[in-house]
Amino acid sequence: MCGIIGYTGTDGAVGDVLLTGLEGLEYRGYDSAGVAIADESLAVHKREGEVAALEAALPDTGLGGTAGIGHTRWSTHGPPTDANAHPHTDCAESVAVVHNGIIENYQTLRADLEAGGHEFTSETDTEVIPHLIETALATGASPEAAFREAVSQLEGSYAVAAVFPGSETVYAARHESPLVLGIGDDGHYLASDVPAFIEYTDRVVYLEDGQFARVNPSGIVVTDAQGAVVETAVEQIAWDPEDAGKAGYDHYMLKEINEQPQALRQCLRERVSELDGTVTIDELAALEPTGPVQFVACGTSYHAALYGARFLRAQGVPAQCFLASEYTVDQLPVGEETLVVGVTQSGETADTMSALRAANRVGATTLALTNTVGSSAARECDHVMYIRAGPEISVAATKTFASQQVALAMLAATLAGETPTALCERLRALPDQVQQVLDMSNARAVAEAYEASDAYFFIGRGYNAPVALEGALKMKEITYKHAEGFAAGELKHGPLALVGEQTPVFAMVTGDASASKTLGNIKEVEARDAPVVAVTDSPAVVGQYADHVLEVPSAGPRLTPVLANVQLQLVAYWVANRLGRSIDKPRNLAKSVTVE
C-alpha cells in the first residue's frame, strides 16, 4: 500500500523525478499525493485525489531544490483529504516525512507528544514521526541522529523517508515494508518499487529490515541499526522502461491481458523439455522436500495456490492451501519436514510475509513463488521460484495469475519427481493457445449483453473451481458489481436462492470427468430463468445449453482452465469499460498490500 519516491541530485530534476515516480507508483495507492522539496526551507505540496490533482496544484515556477520526497497514499488512518496526505511535517517545519505501513503504537506516541505541546493537523499515524524527530532535534541531535531516534520508537511496519531544510540528503529506513535504492549517473533514488525510477536507472540496492539509508548526490550509504556501514550488492533490473508503459492500449489491464502469451513463454523458458518430457527448475535444484506442502497466499494469488494445491495432490503430493491471514503455525502440523510455499506477486504482501516468517520460526522449509526479484519473500525464504511475468501495473492481476498457474504446474512436476510427456507438450503449446483466445474472443459482445445485470455468478469444478473464484474477483474489482464464484456443486446448497433472470451464470465446462455434472448445474440455473455463459472447449456439446459461448482450445483437463480464465478477464474488462470504471485504479484497492 502507498508509494514512496525520493531523489537527490545536482541536475535540477528533482520535481520531474518525483512526479514521474509518483505516476509510476500510483498503482500502489491513489487517494492522495504529495511532495516535499528541501532547499533553504521546505516546500510541501499535497492534494486529495490522484497524482494529476497534485500536478495541477503545483506552482508555475516548478520545483527547485536538490533533494525531495513524494508519496501516493492508500488510506488507513483517516480519509483521503489534503490534511491527511503525505508528506507530514512537525510544528517548526524542520523535517518532512513520508511513510508506508502502520505505526501500531502511534496513539501512545501521539498522546505523549501532545502532552509535550506538539500540535497535530492530521488523523494519520504517520504524523507522529516528524514530531518525534523535532523532539530529538531540540536536544541538539543531528538530522541523522534525530531520524534514527524517532525510528527506534516505532512499533509496527514501516518504510520511512525524510528530508530536512538546508540539506541535500534523504534519510530512509525500513521494517517489514519495502524500500529499494536506485543508483543513477546524475543522482540517486529511493522508492517502494522499481517502476518509480526504472526510466532513469536499472541499478538497484534492496534495503533489508532494520537497515537505514543515507542518500545524497555523491552516493548511497547503508547502515545497520547501530550505525555501522553495511556492504550492499548492486543488482541490475532486467526490465525495459517501455515494459511499464501502456504501449498504445487504453488501460494497463488490457495491455497486460494481451501480454500473457509472452509472459507464459518467459515463465516456461529453459524449464520445460518436450524431447525428454522433463521439467527442470534450476533455482530449485537444492530443494529436497520430504513432507507435505502448505500454500499461503491472499487474493488472486490464493486462487492460484488453490489451483496449485490440486495439481500437487493429483501428482501424489499431500498439499493444503491457506489464506495467509488465517495461517497459524501453533494450530497446524508444521515442522521441519513441511514445505511452506508463499504465493505472492509482489513478494511484499504483509499477510503472506507474516505467514512465511512464522513458518521459518518453527523450522519449516519455505519457498517464495513470486514475480519480484529482490523482494522480501525472495530474500527471506529458503528457496525462490520466479514466475517471470514482467512488470504488472494494473491493480487487477491478470498476467501474473496465468504465470502463477503455469509456474505451479511446473512446481508440482518438480516436487512429484516426474512429468508426463503430454503435460510438457501442453505447457509448451499454452502460450499460442492463449494468443488464439485473445485473437478470437467474443467476450466484448458478452459484456455488452450483460453489463446491466444485477450480479454475476461463476461456477466450475475441479481445476475450474479456483478459476471461478478468480473470475468473480476480477468482476468485483473493476466493475464494482456484485459477483460470486463457487464450486459448481455448491450452487444448489444456498446460493441458488439468489439466481434469477438478472443474474448471468458463467459456467466453466471443460473436457474432464466432471463436465457432465457441471452441465447438470447449468440446467438448474436455466430452470430459474438465469442466462448462462459457457466457457468451454466443447462448444458443439455445451453450446446447446447456453445463451452465449466463450470458446477455448483444449489443453487437457488441468491446463484448459488457464485459457478459460483469459476469457473471464476479458469479460470483466469490457463490462468495466462500458460502465466507465477506473479500470487500472479501482476504488479502495491497491496493488501491493503491505499492511495486515
**pLDDT tens per residue, range 173-208:** 998 888 999 999 889 999 988 888 888 998 999 998
Confidence at 15, pLDDT banded by 50, 70, 90 = confident
Evaluate if residue 85 carries a pLDDT over 90.
no
Q: What is the pLDDT of residues 424-445, one digit of tens each?
A: 899 999 999 999 999 999 999 9
pLDDT at 594: 55
Evaluate if residue 501 carries a pLDDT over 70.
yes
The per-residue DSSP string of 279-300 comes to E--GGGTT----S-EEEEE-HH
**d(C-alpha 303, C-alpha 145), whole Å:** 46
pLDDT at 339: 96
C-alpha cell at 476: 468485483
- What integer is the mean pLDDT of 40-47? 91
The model's pTM: 0.80
Mean model confidence pLDDT for the chain: 90
**d(C-alpha 531, C-alpha 459), whole Å:** 13
Confidence at 542, pLDDT banded by 50, 70, 90 = confident
Share of the chain above pLDDT 90, in %: 60
Of 441 and 390, the one with more pLDDT: 441
3-state secondary structure 369-380: EECCCCCHHHHH
pLDDT at 55: 85
Is residue 182 within 8 A of residue 2, CB to CB? The reply is no
- Angle in degrees, CA 147, 148, 150, rounded to 5: 65
- Angle in degrees, CA 199, 205, 387, rounded to 5: 75
The per-residue DSSP string of 52-102 comes to HHHHHHS-TT----SEEEEEEE--SSS-S-TTTSSPEE-TT---EEEEEEE
Query: Mind telling me the catalytic residues?
Result: 2, 591
First to last CA, the chain: 10
Of 25 and 92, the one with more pLDDT: 92
Q: 63 vs 44, 45, 69, 469, CA distance in Å?
A: 10, 10, 12, 47
Residue 86 is classified by DSSP as S
Bridge partners (DSSP) listed for residue 117: none
Evaluate if residue 160 carries a pLDDT over 60.
yes
Q: What is the C-alpha radius of gyration for the chain, rounded to an integer number of angstroms?
A: 25
Q: What is the pLDDT of residues 516-540, one digit of tens each?
A: 788 878 888 877 888 999 999 988 8
Confidence at 380, pLDDT banded by 50, 70, 90 = very high
- What integer is the mean pLDDT of 139-150? 96
- What integer is the mean pLDDT of 372-378? 86
- What integer is the mean pLDDT of 465-491? 94
**d(C-alpha 349, C-alpha 354), whole Å:** 9
| Residue ranges with strand state E in 498-553 | 505-509, 532-536, 548-551
Share of the chain above pLDDT 70, in %: 96
Determine the residue type at 277: G
Q: What is the pLDDT of residues 294-308, one digit of tens each?
A: 999 999 999 999 999
- Nearest CA to 107 out of 127, 87, 133, 85 is that of 127
- What integer is the mean pLDDT of 472-501? 89
Of 519 and 253, the one with more pLDDT: 253
Q: How many CA atoms lie within 13 A of 351 on its CB side?
A: 21
- What integer is the mean pLDDT of 91-101? 93
Confidence at 3, pLDDT banded by 50, 70, 90 = confident
pLDDT at 591: 63
Q: 397 vs 204, 250, 355, 566, 591, CA distance in Å?
A: 25, 17, 22, 12, 8
Confidence at 596, pLDDT banded by 50, 70, 90 = low
Domains of the chain: 3-240 (3.60.20.10), 252-431 (3.40.50.10490), 441-596 (3.40.50.10490)
Burial (CB count within 10 angstroms: exposed 0-12, middle 13-18, buried 19+), residue 233: exposed
Q: What are phi and psi of 215, to 5 degrees?
A: -120, 120
Contacts of 454 (CB under 8 A, 6+ apart): 482, 500, 502, 503
Confidence at 592, pLDDT banded by 50, 70, 90 = low
pLDDT at 244: 63
Is residue 319 within 8 A of residue 293, CB to CB? The reply is yes
- Is 562 in a helix, a strand, or coil? helix
Evaluate if residue 406 carries a pLDDT over 80.
yes
